[in-house]
Amino acid sequence: MTLKLSSYKGTRDLYPSDMVLRRYVFDGWRAVMECYGYKEYMAPMLEPIDVYAAKSGEEIVSEQTYSFTDRGGRQMVIRPEMTPSVARMVAARRQEMPMPTRLYSIANFMRYERPQHGREREFWQLNFDLFGDDGIYADAETIEIADKLLRYFGASDEMFTIRIGDRRLTDYIMKQYLGLNDDEAGRAIKLLDKFSKMPREKFDASMAEVIGDEALIKLNAIIEVKDIDALPKEVLDSGVADNLRQLIAILRDERGIKNVHYDPKLMRGFDYYTGTVFEVFDENPENRRSLFGGGRYDGLVGLFGVEPLPVVGAAPGETMFIEFLRAHNLIPDWVKNGKYYLDIDYRIIPLGEGADTMKYASEVARELRTLMGGQKGSVSIDYTSRKSGAKTKAAIKATADFIIYIGGDEVRNRTLTVKNVATGEQTSYEFDSIEQMARDAFQSKADRYAAKFNDVEEA
Please tell me whether residues 411 and 285 are part of one structural domain. Answer: no
Asked whether residue 3 is assigned to any structural domain, the reply reads: no
Please tell me whether residues 33 and 79 are part of one structural domain. Answer: yes
Asked whether residue 173 is assigned to any structural domain, the reply reads: yes
Asked whether residue 2 is assigned to any structural domain, the reply reads: no
- Compare 257 and 17 and report the one with higher pLDDT: 257
pLDDT over 70 percentage in the chain: 93
Please tell me whether residues 251 and 378 are part of one structural domain. Answer: no
Please tell me whether residues 306 and 360 are part of one structural domain. Answer: no
Asked if residue 455 has pLDDT above 50, the reply is no
- Average per-residue pLDDT for the chain: 88
Structure confidence at residue 54 (pLDDT) = 59
- Residue ending a domain, among 308, 334, 360, is 334
Please tell me whether residues 54 and 140 are part of one structural domain. Answer: yes
From 16-20, 150-154, 253-257, the region with the lowest mean pLDDT: 16-20
Quick: pLDDT tens for 229-286: 999 999 999 999 999 999 999 999 999 999 999 999 888 766 678 899 999 999 998 8
Please tell me whether residues 23 and 172 are part of one structural domain. Answer: yes
Please compute the mean of the pLDDT values over residues 369-386 and round it to a whole number: 82
- Residue ending a domain, among 301, 334, 367, is 334
- Residue ending a domain, among 334, 357, 378, is 334
Please tell me whether residues 50 and 82 are part of one structural domain. Answer: yes
Structure confidence at residue 456 (pLDDT) = 41
Please tell me whether residues 255 and 352 are part of one structural domain. Answer: no
Q: How confident is the model at residue 449 (pLDDT cuts 50, 70, 90)?
A: low
If DSSP states are collapsed to H, E and C, what string results for the chain?
A: CCCCCCCCCCCCCCCHHHHHHHHHHHHHHHHHHHHCCCEECCCCCEEEHHHHHCCCCHHHHHHHCEEEECCCCCEEEECCCCHHHHHHHHHHCCCCCCCCEEEEEEEEEECCCCCECCECCEEEEEEEEEECCCCHHHHHHHHHHHHHHHHCCCCCHHHEEEEEEEHHHHHHHHHHHCCCCHHHHHHHHHHHHCHHHCCHHHHHHHHHHHHCHHHHHHHHHHHCCCCHHHCCHHHHHCCCCHHHHHHHHHHHHHCCCCCEEECCCCCCCCCCCCCEEEEEEECCCCCCEEEEEEEECCCCHHHHCCCCCCEEEECCEHHHHHHHHHHCCCCCHHHHCCCCCCCEEEEEEECCCCHHHHHHHHHHHHHHHHHHCCCCEEEEECCCCCCHHHHHHHHHHCCCCEEEEECHHHHHHCEEEEEECCCCCEEEEEHHHHHHHHHHHHHHHHHHHHCCCHHHHHC
Structure confidence at residue 296 (pLDDT) = 93
Asked whether residue 66 is assigned to any structural domain, the reply reads: yes
Asked whether residue 7 is assigned to any structural domain, the reply reads: no
Model pTM?
0.80
Please tell me whether residues 307 and 276 are part of one structural domain. Answer: yes
Please compute the mean of the pLDDT values over residues 180-201 and round it to a whole number: 88
Please tell me whether residues 356 and 448 are part of one structural domain. Answer: yes
Please tell me whether residues 306 and 232 are part of one structural domain. Answer: yes
CATH code assigned at 435:
3.40.50.800
Please compute the mean of the pLDDT values over residues 179-190 and round it to a whole number: 89
Quick: pLDDT tens for 280-324: 999 998 888 889 999 998 888 888 888 889 999 999 999 999 999
Asked if residue 17 has pLDDT above 90, the reply is no
The range of the structural domain enclosing residue 396 comes to 344-458
Asked whether residue 213 is assigned to any structural domain, the reply reads: yes
CATH code assigned at 82:
3.30.930.10
pLDDT over 90 percentage in the chain: 57
Number of domains in the chain: 2
Please tell me whether residues 316 and 350 are part of one structural domain. Answer: no
Asked whether residue 304 is assigned to any structural domain, the reply reads: yes
Structure confidence at residue 59 (pLDDT) = 60
